[in-house]
Amino acid sequence: MLELRNISKVYNPGTVTEMCLFDGFNFKVADGEFVSIVGSNGSGKTSMLNIICGSIPIDGGDVLIDGVSVNHLAEFRRYRTFGRVYQNPAAGACPNLTILENMSLADNKGKRFGLSSGVNKKRAGYYREQLAALGLGLEDKMSVKMGSLSGGQRQAVALLMATLTPLDFLILDEHTAALDPHTAEIIMQLTDRIVREKNLTAIMVTHNLRYAVEYGSRIVMMDRGHIVLDKAGEEKRNTSTDDVLHLFNQISIECGN
């Protein structure tokens, strides 16, 4: 279980642009949940992900995993049990390495990066299988450099890489936002399948209200550092896109957007 307890976060403290985003913010994600988070720009969605992953420091409160504080853990240590897919498809893999090399790197996560061969030939068959399951024909391009793939293909591989090793949490940071609608749909379906198959706990930030409603087991809407909507299970199933859109617009109007 992941818990944010009493988090406070102030941007640019002590300057004229000082902005208090979180003040006593609380949030919990139970194991096995697939939480979709929506909200307008500046509502704190991405900041929350960054706080969970340790990418930005916090000014107060605790990030707890299974009840144990991970505040002292550096960002890279937290990724031991986290997987993250970024909005930018280029962020998830190395453009100058081949697909095979990228997959091998991802496969070795959590193990020692020593002086044994970087590419494990025995695992190549497994990677091929995994790539074939994407249905993008990438299984025949294992020795192609990542940089020559399209954004959608890269994001698919990045998703695969992030989930190749056992995870506690999968963090999806607007991972369909930079893709065209058709590709975004494919990636979203793929995400859903992987989360189900591997039985992952996932937190997805998205601007696509339809995805937030259609996928996942829980929907959360944030606004200026507060949770304004939080529905799970039966309640979530009964929530329609229109309901969320309505609330979303209401907030936007209040904000003067």
To other proteins, the closest distance from the beta carbon of 167 in angstroms equals 11
Q: Is the dihedral of CA 168, 80, 153, 203 positive or negative?
A: positive
Quick one: which of 84, 141, 175, 236 contacts other proteins (CB under 8 A)? Answer: 84
Task: With CA atoms as reference, report the closest residue to 92 among 151, 39, 137.
Answer: 151
* Contact region with other proteins (CB under 8 A), list: 16-24, 106-114, 184-192, 202-210: 106-114
Least Å distance, CB 221 to other proteins, is 27
Instruction: Tell me which stretch binds other proteins (CB under 8 A): 58-66, 92-100, 186-194, 235-243.
Output: 92-100
Tell me, residue by residue from 37 to 76, as one string, x for binding to other proteins by CB under 8 A and - for no binding: -------------------------------------xxx
Binding of other proteins by 116 (CB under 8 A): yes
CB of 143 to other proteins, least distance (A): 10
Q: What residue type is assigned to position 3 of the chain?
A: E
Say which residues have a Cβ less than 8 Å from residue 255's Cβ, sequence separation at least 6. Answer: 40, 224
The full 3-state SS of 124-144, as one line of letters, equals: HHHHHHHHHHHCCCHHHCCCC
According to CB under 8 A, which one of 24, 32, 95, 135 is a site residue for other proteins? 95
Question: Per-residue x/- marks for other proteins, 157-176, CB under 8 A?
Answer: -----x--------------
Token pair in block for residue 92: 């998830």
124 binds other proteins (CB under 8 A): no
Minimum gap (Å) between residue 219 Cβ and other proteins: 26
Kindly give, in sequence order, each residue whose CB lies less than 8 Å from that of residue 220, ignoring residues fewer than 6 positions away: 27, 35, 36, 37, 38, 227, 229, 230
Hey, what amino acid is at 36? S
